[in-house]
Amino acid sequence: MLNAGNVKVTDLLCVTPPWIPEGAHAMTQVVELPPADDGVAPHRHSGPVFGYVLEGRILFELEGEAPREIVAGDAFWEPGGDVVHYQVANLEQNSWSRFLAVCICAPGIDMITMLEPDEIAARDHLRHPSARRHTQ
């Protein structure tokens, strides 16, 4: 933490992101999830995403990781690239949840790509065991 006069800076998250290609750009967004909303369907980002929960509680699941709750005041990140982001759902039943996302976008690739059902099924084995869709 840095303190200089009346300014207080608190480190929330320190990670080493993957290499960022020349020509990439950054996009900052506020994402707002209505009460009990399932959020965005499975997708991937072209580059790393760094986030901070402004209010509420969110269920967050990345490929290979157990789904986890993140709450207001928590920071998070995802590497982007081939890693699938399965869940970003609002756990609040009666109020909105909001988070700030800073996305590093690879040049020439959409910031977000939605997965088709066949790819979701083909990658199910890569999900954390607690989140897998046990199919017949």
Mean of the per-residue pLDDT values for the chain?
A: 91
Decide if 19 is inside a domain: no
CA–CA separation, 124 and 8 (whole Å): 44
* pTM score: 0.86
The pLDDT of 35-40, averaged and rounded, is 96
Q: Is the pLDDT of residue 114 over 80?
A: yes
Q: Is 36 within a domain?
A: yes
pLDDT band at 3 (very low <50, low <70, confident <90, very high): low
Residues 6 or more apart whose Cβ sits within 8 Å of residue 85: 40, 42, 43, 44, 45, 61, 62, 63, 78
pLDDT at 47: 92
For residue range 48-93, what is the model confidence (pLDDT) as tens digits? 999 999 999 999 999 999 999 999 999 999 999 999 999 999 999 9
- CATH at 105: 2.60.120.10
pLDDT at 15 over 90: no
Structural domains counted in the chain: 1
87 within some domain: yes
pLDDT of residue 1: 55
